[in-house]
Chain A
Amino acid sequence: NAGVTQTPKFRILKIGQSMTLQCTQDMNHNYMYWYRQDPGMGLKLIYYSVGAGITDKGEVPNGYNVSRSTTEDFPLRLELAAPSQTSVYFCASSSATANYGYTFGSGTRLTVV
């Protein structure tokens, strides 16, 4: 099993550009999450999904969009990149309500210049 796969690992965007961070998991987990981690700060939840077709906002959703058309995939979309979105982004998945532990992707380091 590959676990949680995130792509790309690194990306530099110009202000106003758009991009999609890809996340896929092969563990048949219902729950998927997108987090961002700023330097010296804790993880903050951007969006999460409890199953295909269902998404909900986390703590810091502004400037992002998500979709969950399949159980496996949970892409994160940045429409108009801003310097404040420079961060490391982590995708994670879990079964049920995270009571059985998370599996994290390896992260995407995004810089907006």
Chain B
Amino acid sequence: KNEVEQSPQNLTAQEGEFITINCSYSVGISALHWLQQHPGGGIVSLFMLSSGKKKHGRLIATINIQEKHSSLHITASHPRDSAVYICALLSGNQFYFGTGTSLTVIP
């Protein structure tokens, strides 16, 4: 049983497209993170959410606590957005990670 499910697993988009990556979870959480892992392997924390919506540049993250669902949106996608996007949960003292969504943006 996976506490965190991400979809899709793989996504290919044309430059400029609007992209949505979804994260569903089955545990109560105190925070949800969206992480970005670059092809070189480095991991960057994009957002931390406990409610509502956050925006940073072309990235938007939303969370619906009642539905146990979060989405990461990328507007006007660019090839440099190509990376693996990981949903991570903090539930009590436990940490749960999705297996990631591999995004490729084609010029």
Contacts and interface: CB of A to CB of B under 8 A. Distances in A.
Given A42-B99, A106-B42, A100 B86 contact: no
B107 interface: no
B99 A90 contact: no
Given A40-B99, A100-B48, A101-B48, A107 B33 contact: no
Interface residues on A, range: 20 to 34
A77 interface: no
Contacts of B93: 56
B41 A107 contact: yes
B72 interface: no
A74 interface: no
A43 B97 CA distance: 6
